[in-house]
Amino acid sequence: MSEKVLMKGNEAFAEAAVRGGSRFYFGYPITPQSEIPEYMARNLAKAGGTFVQAESEVAAINMAYGAAASGGSVFVSSSSPGIALMQEGMSFLCSAEVPVVLLNVSRCGPGVGGIQPGQADYFQVTRGGGNGDYRIPVFAPANLQEAVDILYEAPSLADRWQNPVMVLVDGMMGQMMEPIKLPEWKEVVAREDIRSYKPWAITGYGTDDSKRNVVKSLRMQPEDLEVHVEKLFAKYAEAEKELCRYEAENLEGADIVFVAFGTMARLIKEAMELLAEKGIKAGLIRPISLWPFPDEAFDLIDKTTTKAVVSCELSMGQMIEDVKKAVAGRFPVKLIHRTGGIVPNSLEMCEKALKILEG
Amino acid sequence: MDIQKFFKKRILIVAGHYGSGKTEFAVSLAMQAAAEGISPLAVIDLDVVNPYFRSRECAAKLKAEGVEVQGSFFGHDVTAEIPELSANIRRPLEDESCRVIIDLGGNEAGARILKQFDKYFQGDDFNLAIVLNANRYETRTVPDAIEQIELIENELGIKADYLINNTHLLRETTADDIAKGRRLCSELAESRGYEILCDCYPQGIIDPSVLDKDFMPFGVGMYLRQSWLDK
């Protein structure tokens, strides 16, 4: 680890992805993540990589498909409406089992919406807007260091699961500055070694030299397609066990338990301090993986003291569906939210929590 | 610190690398200058490349201190993403009695917008100050900092007069950080003939009395950073 440097979120995300091994970036500018393609344009070639500004997000995700299918380590970023345009490609990547690291620096919607931060892409990233049965692991870091560490790890996670991996941050995290420690540069697989590292990749022939590799999502026979999708879901079941991540804080004896990810989780921590001053103990479950959702964390909630579980979101309430599923009727589930790009202050959160406790 | 030294010329243009702290510096300077009676005083927010954390977000605070704020045509709309500017920007530029702080966007891309106001920068009525943070990843070394400064100078066709040492790590800032920034600025000043204008310290985090006696401490507030960001 090097000494700390001060970086803007978007620059740090780009640098972490490159240090983690990403060598191909395809993107299209969109606020509030445009510093990522700018940073890649300046710096990726210095690391021996390739930057392409695509003509659209649709083009970018399909360039990513091609480069990753050929064994390249690919990073793609965009923001909410841009990610929406990429959904079809993500379905194809999942079907063809092609690893790509995806980053959504989300803003508010729907439609063009606004450029201020939002978390209303929860359904988009955890359910997916592409067609068919597929899953993408999604991680939602809450500070820049955590985001750097996840983006650094993401290329190897994507390779391990032969699937896209998504990181979701909001525009606030993309634009904010924080001191971070950048990780060491990961060794990159040499082009001539890709064949042994990724034996499925389109590098000419497979490992046994007997037949050409084919990367595809088309399966003409229903029986073949069913077998393929069943195989994907057996893989997802394994991934669910391995990739579940969360932080649980202050749950024992808590009067109220907040559930929040990303920026909202940061804000909640200040609200928890304000509640403590009023003699109210608040706990926090912070999902770091949004898919798989950390259902197990909800088994840790103190049944003897907790009066409500509150999903806190910068949306009209999307994660709350997963919270309700995880709570499974054991506690009342409430929502505190703002939308439209408004980030509430901790005092407002505190007052809303007090109202919930008053019933 | 004598606030007049920032206004040896009527207009102070504040430029620098993305995230070097131009806006927090510009807002802090305006607040302190207003408090010391510099009037009339205007802040012109010419940042059309950054979507968040712009000086127009402090417009109410600045106006309460008697500082005129010009920038966005749409009433300082925080979500305006288009590079639109108010014609009123020319008012303080043309008012020879008005001191002006111009807060540019980051890098040469952010500086470019000043070119449309070129006619105001033909004479000798202004200074260009470059804000530097030696903890920023892309301006840690002398060659890196020179590259960034030259990009801005070439874009504007103006050679910088001043360096502002704004080396910090937010709430983790130590006196060593500020000294590191001073060393970087001194090397740049020596090799390229700039004057170091001040050594910024984050107010409430660093006690300026611990800094080297040769330094020129200037307190910078956190006007744009919400407290929960440090949780």
Over residues B88-106, the pLDDT tens digits come to: 999 999 999 999 999 998 8
Does B83 reach chain A within 8 Å, measured CB to CB? no
More confident residue, A112 or B143: B143
- How far apart are the CA of A12 and the nearest CA of chain B, in angstroms? 9
What residue segments make up the domains of chain A, in order of their start? 5-195+234-238, 247-358
Prior bond to A117 cis, omega within 30?
no
Per residue in A67-89, pLDDT (tens digit) is 999 999 999 999 999 999 999 99
| Confidence at residue B53, expressed as pLDDT on a 0 to 100 scale | 78
> Which site among A6, A40, A80, A180 would you substitute to test the B interface, given the most B Cβ atoms closer than 10 Å to its Cβ?
A6
A259 CA to centre of own chain: 17
In angstroms, the CA A16 to CA A10 distance is: 10
How far is residue A255 from each of residues A101, A211, A281, measured CA to CA in Å? 39, 63, 5
Q: Which of A343, A313, A9, A16 is nearest to A176 (CA)?
A: A9
Q: Has residue A2 got a pLDDT over 60?
A: no
Tell me which residues of chain A, numbers 295 to 334, contact chain B at a CB-CB cutoff of 8 Å: none
Question: B7-230 is classed in which CATH architecture?
Answer: 3-Layer(aba) Sandwich (3.40)
Residue of chain A whose Cα is closest to the Cα of B227 = A270
| Confidence at residue B83, expressed as pLDDT on a 0 to 100 scale | 67
The CATH number for A247-358, chosen from 3.40.30.10, 3.40.50.2020, 3.40.50.920, 3.40.50.300, is: 3.40.50.920
A5-195+234-238 fold: Rossmann fold (3.40.50)
Does A346 reach chain B within 8 Å, measured CB to CB? yes
User: Which two structure tokens, joined as six digits, stand for B213?
Assistant: 């006696």
Count of A-B CB contacts under 8 Å:
73
User: Mapping DSSP to helix (H, G, I), strand (E, B) and coil, where does residue B53 land?
Assistant: coil
| Confidence at residue A1, expressed as pLDDT on a 0 to 100 scale | 39
Residue B160 sits at the vertex; the CA angle it makes with B156 and B161, to the nearest 5 degrees, is 145
Is-same-fold flag (A5-195+234-238; A247-358)?
yes
Q: Give strand pairing partners of A242.
A: none
- How far apart are the CA of A359 and the nearest CA of chain B, in angstroms? 27
| Confidence at residue B50, expressed as pLDDT on a 0 to 100 scale | 76
pLDDT average, residue stretch A170-187: 95
Q: Is B119 exposed, middle or buried (0-12, 13-18, 19+ CB in 10 A)?
A: exposed
Residue of chain B whose Cα is closest to the Cα of A108 = B79
In angstroms, the CA A177 to CA B68 distance is: 27
Does B172 reach chain A within 8 Å, measured CB to CB? yes
How far is residue A20 from each of residues A13, A182, A308, measured CA to CA in Å? 10, 10, 40
| Confidence at residue A219, expressed as pLDDT on a 0 to 100 scale | 96
Gyration radius from chain A CA atoms: 21
In angstroms, the CA B73 to CA B83 distance is: 10
How far is residue A156 from each of residues A52, A150, A163, A240, B230, measured CA to CA in Å? 22, 10, 11, 16, 30
- Widest distance between CA atoms in chain A: 72
Token pair 């391990």 in the structure block, residue: A160
Query: With an 8 Å Cβ cutoff, are A15 and B137 in contact?
Result: yes
Per residue in B44-83, pLDDT (tens digit) is 998 877 777 777 778 889 999 999 999 865 655 556 566 6
In angstroms, the CA A142 to CA B8 distance is: 44
User: Which two structure tokens, joined as six digits, stand for B25?
Assistant: 């510096």
Per residue in A295-306, pLDDT (tens digit) is 999 999 999 999
pLDDT average, residue stretch A303-324: 98
Mean pLDDT of chain A: 95
Q: What is the DSSP letter of B166?
A: -
Asked if residue A134 lies in contact with residue A91, where contact means CB atoms within 8 angstroms, the answer is yes
In angstroms, the CA B220 to CA B211 distance is: 15
More confident residue, B225 or B197: B197
User: Which two structure tokens, joined as six digits, stand for B174?
Assistant: 């130590």
- On chain B, the residues whose CB falls within 8 A of the CB of A341 are 79
Three-state secondary structure readout of chain A: CCCCEEEEHHHHHHHHHHHCCCCEEEECCCCCCCHHHHHHHHHCHHHCCEEEECCCHHHHHHHHHHHHHCCCCEEEEECHHHHHHCHHHHHHHHHHCCCCEEEEEEEECCCCCEEEECCCCHHHHHHCCCCCCCCCCEECCCCHHHHHHHHHHHHHHHHHHCCCEEEEEEHHHHHCEEEECCCCCCCCCCHHHHHHHCCCCCCCCCCCCCCCCCCCCCCCCHHHHHHHHHHHHHHHHHHHHHHCCEEEECCCCCCEEEECCHHHHHHHHHHHHHHHHCCCCEEEEEECEEECCCHHHHHHCCCCCCCEEEEEECCCCCCHHHHHHHHCCCCCEEEEECCCCCCCCHHHHHHHHHHHHHC
Query: With an 8 Å Cβ cutoff, are B53 and A175 in contact?
Result: yes
One-letter amino acid at A6 equals: L
- On chain B, the residues whose CB falls within 8 A of the CB of A176 are 53, 225, 229
Query: With an 8 Å Cβ cutoff, are B172 and A266 in contact?
Result: no
- On chain B, the residues whose CB falls within 8 A of the CB of A343 are 226
A45-83 burial string, b = 16+ CB within 10 Å, else e? eeeebebbebeebbbbbbbbbebbbbbbbbbbbbbbbbb
φ, ψ for residue B113 (rounded to 5)? -60, -25
Asked casually if ipTM beats, i.e. exceeds, 0.90, the reply is no
pLDDT average, residue stretch A335-354: 95
A165 CA to centre of own chain: 7
Asked if residue B196 lies in contact with residue B216, where contact means CB atoms within 8 angstroms, the answer is yes
In angstroms, the CA B31 to CA A25 distance is: 43
Query: With an 8 Å Cβ cutoff, are B136 and A6 in contact?
Result: yes
Query: With an 8 Å Cβ cutoff, are B18 and A114 in contact?
Result: no
pLDDT average, residue stretch A322-342: 97
